Structure 1
Amino acid sequence: MALGSAIGTGLFYGSASAIQSAGPAVLLAYMIGGAAVFLVMRALGEMAVRHPVSGSFGDYASRYLGPFAGFITGWTFAFEMAVVAIADVTAFGIYMGFWFPDVPRWIWILAVVLLIAALNLMRVKVFGETEFWLSILKVSAIIAMIVGGIAIIVFGFGLDDGANPGMDTLLGSGGFFANGVWGLLASFSIVMFAFGGIETIGITAGEAENPKKAIPAAVNTVPFRILLFYVCTLAVLMMIFPWQDIDGSTSPFVQIFDSLGITAAAHILNAVVITAALSAINADIFGAGRMMYGLARQGQAPASFAKVSRNGVPWMTVATMAGVLLAGVVLNALLPESLFTIIASIATFATVWVWLMILLSHIAMKREIARNNLPASEFGVPFWPAASYAALAFMGFIVVLLGVMPGTRVALIVGAVWIGLLFVAYRLWVRGDGRVRADLADETLDPRADSAADTRAATSAAAGEPGR
């Protein structure tokens, strides 16, 4: 899950919009955003090692910020996964358009919704095995693309005689900040969208065999994954193909190799990005389903979300996500051109909100540790407290950017309405105590003391990896 979360629609398709906005400076945006996300993950990792429970950051928010904070965090994460699923099925339809340009996009999206829903209603073993191979495929494809891109830069395969791959191509149209600082800022909505879902690592903490070893190992690989799968990959692409010619009509990976005349590579990569989209949709359903399952156990969601089928699948959460994806079919029929950017910006708001709650929960935990003279954490955040407050400020800055940029302003409006609806729902339907889990109520309790039945049921929510 940690590895797969670095690769998905945000890289395979969303990077085109980010490149259009910032030019070569998009590499800096990914490094800045990646550094902030790393600090979020370290904060989550510290809490997960201290309290390795299923439900993770939703429970931490309840424990350290109050029941309403846990409610709003859990449901906003589920909302994030649902919105991202729409973005992923939209990308799937765009990818299929490379092979079948005359077929309306919504037809492909309807087909994939039915396919994914059927897959998720099968036994968890089938789902987990499928995710494993899809992840291996897309990771291998990215590494092969980087190696192939470097070979093109060095030997000029497929390039015109007058081409000059390398830094000249990368910086040849206006330099590094080709679209200025404003272009760099505009790219952050897509950049942060690409990293969204990586927090799902924390949800698995309660079921990791050795969370004190597994969680730090996963979190500490975040900088390497960012450099390899985002910065290195996009740098190679922009060194072999003029960045200003990336138009977003399909995946930039496919467009570049197709434009270079390497037709076989373009078709192979299109097949890869299609499988990556399928993997991402699977992971979206896993993330939303696991969180809704946990909310139901806490009394913060309908009890039906906690029920599982004979195959061990939480069928109600699958049905709910399928309904959301069917709404995506309608949206793609109505807004085929602008939907992805709108959906991605809304997902960015939800993602950043969850990260804000993680950081606030972590800060509250550190204050409690200091106030009660509790033992220090085994996996602390580096440069505490400056790093945590810097990450908090950066996330707030991203929310402001969403409202400032005309193309993403709708995300702030939708986000405000969503938070308002959650406030009303909490007041109407949730008990005053918020049903906070007992295993987080006291520092001395064993955070992994769930019953075997609960663990089996939780595991049935499926195994996958979030991939944007």
Structure 2
Amino acid sequence: MLPQEKGLKRGLSARHIRFMALGSAIGTGLFYGSASAIQMAGPAVLLAYLIGGAAVFMVMRALGEMAVHNPVAGSFGQYASTYLGPMAGFILGWTYAFEMIIVCLADVTAFGIYMGFWFPEVARWVWVLGIVFLIGGLNLCNVKVFGEMEFWLSLLKVGAIVAMILGGFGIMLFGIHSAGDTQASGLSNLWAHGGFMPNGIGGLIASFAVVMFAFGGIEIIGITAGEAKDPQRVIPKAINAVPLRILLFYVLTLFVLMAIYPWPQIGSQGSPFVQIFSNLGIGSAATILNIVVISAAVSAINSDIFGAGRMMYGLAQQGQAPKGFAQLSRHGVPWMTVVVMGAALLGGVVLNYLIPENVFLLIASIATFATVWVWLMILFTQVAMRRSMTKEQVAELKFPVPFWPYAPAAAIVFMLFVFGVLGYFPDTQAALLVGGVWIVLLVVAYLLWVKPAAGQAARVHYDPALSHR
């Protein structure tokens, strides 16, 4: 086993960890990305979320098996270093940090746009700067403070989703709609406009690029293992509960949306969630939605900075990142990694002026590549761990993967399939190219700097002169 974590404070309860995963995984992908997925697949997008969710759940169980067996900060980055080799851990850890930075860049910019709804005269960079400092400051506090904030932000977001679902069912059951609205609502909308799979199997396959992006971030549960109060109890509960809840939120919400409106119209007249509130007769629908999406953005930024920071802390402990990243504050927080993430996000303020807004479609697809790569490496790492264990050690696992080895194998095949989807469709081919270049750069960086430094450190530890004393 890897050495147990000594520096980080174990201040996260099961409640914190469950809602951190919800906060990280329920955000832009649901509130905005779902509309494009629906346009690709039609009502069959429900199948895409079910299939994708099942694959992600297997990733989480694989991660859970390792996290319960050996709860450390850095999580899957350290596991990959142990079972697949230092280069694999280096690539996995930095790809996860890369993923979080990209998503955060999109989210902080989105936050500035959301605030512009109320304060159009205030420059967007002011809001971006403010939220970066606010979230950065909270991440420098005791981890329990961070966990509490994430709990309440996620609770607000989840509450809004539940309200949307109930409101949608109210529209269907009681005919609640705004004056002048003659659009029929009901289950028939799921098949009345070209059938359940109007764009064929190709549309369903294309939607996986967006669907898998929507689930990204849930792997933060593994990152929290080093700071969970009772990881052998907390991690299994969080993993078994959260994926099912996310599936329910996504599938139920989209089911309601497509039952209320013909799917070709979803997203064509603004946010689908604004449409629900408008049909409930709530005049301030846009304001309510703005509060929800702001909480969603802040919650996602909060979780992503935490996850990337802890991953870089774990990399520093292994000599795969600057030593300063392993420095802890008096609260037991790796403060340098939080500062680095904040600096990266401030760079996003500059990029926001230089790059047109349509670049965020590319950013989302790049994040999809990074996310699926991380999941694939988690699956490979778990397989390697199992192969290194004796039958007796496997029997002692507290949280083993179900249906071994068939379920993990199926999940691996599915992740490779998603890479194929990214490469096949023109809109996402650039993401595959950027992702490939990123991996190559990491390999070069490892061979040129990390590996020689590790070899030099090993030679320092082994001094022949000292060995003869």
TM-score range, shorter chain: 0.7 to 0.9
The counterpart of 1:254, out of the listed 270, 274, 277, is 274
Counterpart residue number, 1:327: 347
Of stretches 72-81 and 373-382 in structure 1, the one that deviates more from structure 2 is 373-382
RMSD over aligned CA atoms reads 2.6
Of stretches 120-129 and 74-83 in structure 1, the one that deviates more from structure 2 is 120-129
Matched, 1:225 2:245: yes
TM-superposed deviation, 1:240: 1.6
Counterpart residue number, 1:5: 21
The counterpart of 1:368, out of the listed 347, 369, 388, is 388
Secondary structure of the 1:377 match is coil
Contact kept, 8 Å, 1:68 with 1:434, in 2: the verdict is no
Secondary structure of the 1:209 match is coil
Q: Deviations over 1:14-42 (max 9, x none)?
A: 21221222221111111010000011111
Secondary structure of the 2:256 match is helix
Of stretches 318-327 and 112-121 in structure 1, the one that deviates more from structure 2 is 112-121
Contact kept, 8 Å, 1:298 with 1:434, in 2: the verdict is no
Contact kept, 8 Å, 2:171 with 2:280, in 1: the verdict is no
Contact kept, 8 Å, 1:294 with 1:306, in 2: the verdict is yes
TM-superposed deviation, 1:352: 0.7
Q: Deviations over 1:201-255 (max 9, x none)?
A: 1122233333222222111124421332110111112212333223378643235
The counterpart of 2:62, out of the listed 43, 61, 67, is 43
Structure 2: gaps (5+ residues): 1-16, 456-469
Structure 1: gaps (5+ residues): 436-468
Contact kept, 8 Å, 2:225 with 2:235, in 1: the verdict is yes
Contact kept, 8 Å, 2:73 with 2:313, in 1: the verdict is no
Q: Which amino acid aligns with 1:87?
A: A
Counterpart residue number, 1:190: 210
Closer/same/farther in 2, CA of residues 402 and 187 from structure 1, 3 Å limit: same
Of stretches 414-423 and 164-173 in structure 1, the one that deviates more from structure 2 is 164-173
Contact kept, 8 Å, 2:96 with 2:370, in 1: the verdict is yes
Q: Which amino acid aligns with 1:389?
A: A
**Count of aligned pairs:** 435
* Counterpart-to-counterpart distance in 1, 2:414 and 2:58: 11
Counterpart residue number, 1:393: 413
* Counterpart-to-counterpart distance in 1, 2:268 and 2:351: 19
Matched, 1:17 2:36: yes
Counterpart residue number, 1:210: 230
Secondary structure of the 1:53 match is coil
Counterpart residue number, 2:440: 420
TM-score normalized with structure 2 length: 0.85
The counterpart of 2:319, out of the listed 299, 304, 313, is 299
Counterpart residue number, 1:465: none
Q: Deviations over 1:394-416 (max 9, x none)?
A: 10111121111111111111111
Of stretches 413-422 and 16-25 in structure 1, the one that deviates more from structure 2 is 16-25
The counterpart of 2:156, out of the listed 134, 137, 141, is 137
Counterpart residue number, 2:90: 71
Matches within 5 A, 1:447-458: none
TM-superposed deviation, 1:95: 3.3
* Counterpart-to-counterpart distance in 1, 2:270 and 2:406: 41
TM-superposed deviation, 1:434: 5.6
Contact kept, 8 Å, 1:369 with 1:375, in 2: the verdict is no
* Counterpart-to-counterpart distance in 2, 1:4 and 1:241: 32
* Counterpart-to-counterpart distance in 2, 1:209 and 1:120: 18
* Counterpart-to-counterpart distance in 1, 2:243 and 2:307: 22
* Counterpart-to-counterpart distance in 1, 2:63 and 2:375: 9
* Counterpart-to-counterpart distance in 2, 1:301 and 1:67: 12
Secondary structure of the 2:410 match is helix
Q: Which amino acid aligns with 1:401?
A: V
TM-superposed deviation, 1:154: 0.8
* Counterpart-to-counterpart distance in 2, 1:323 and 1:169: 47
Q: Deviations over 1:136-170 (max 9, x none)?
A: 21122211221121111111212456332121233
TM-superposed deviation, 1:49: 1.8
Point out the structure with max Rg over C-alpha.
Answer: 2
Q: Deviations over 1:125-146 (max 9, x none)?
A: 5433322221221122211221
Equivalent pairs: percent with the same residue?
Answer: 65
Contact kept, 8 Å, 1:342 with 1:410, in 2: the verdict is yes
TM-superposed deviation, 1:295: 0.9
Of stretches 62-71 and 175-184 in structure 1, the one that deviates more from structure 2 is 175-184
* Counterpart-to-counterpart distance in 2, 1:342 and 1:145: 29
TM-score normalized with structure 1 length: 0.85
Contact kept, 8 Å, 1:253 with 1:266, in 2: the verdict is no
TM-superposed deviation, 1:194: 1.1
Counterpart residue number, 2:170: 151
TM-superposed deviation, 1:173: 2.4
Matched, 1:347 2:363: no
Matches within 5 A, 1:230-245: 230-245=250-265
Q: Which amino acid aligns with 1:127?
A: F
Secondary structure of the 1:430 match is helix
The counterpart of 2:46, out of the listed 20, 24, 27, is 27
Counterpart residue number, 1:53: 72
Secondary structure of the 1:221 match is helix
Q: Which amino acid aligns with 1:11?
A: L
TM-superposed deviation, 1:320: 1.9
Counterpart residue number, 1:429: 449
Counterpart residue number, 1:463: none
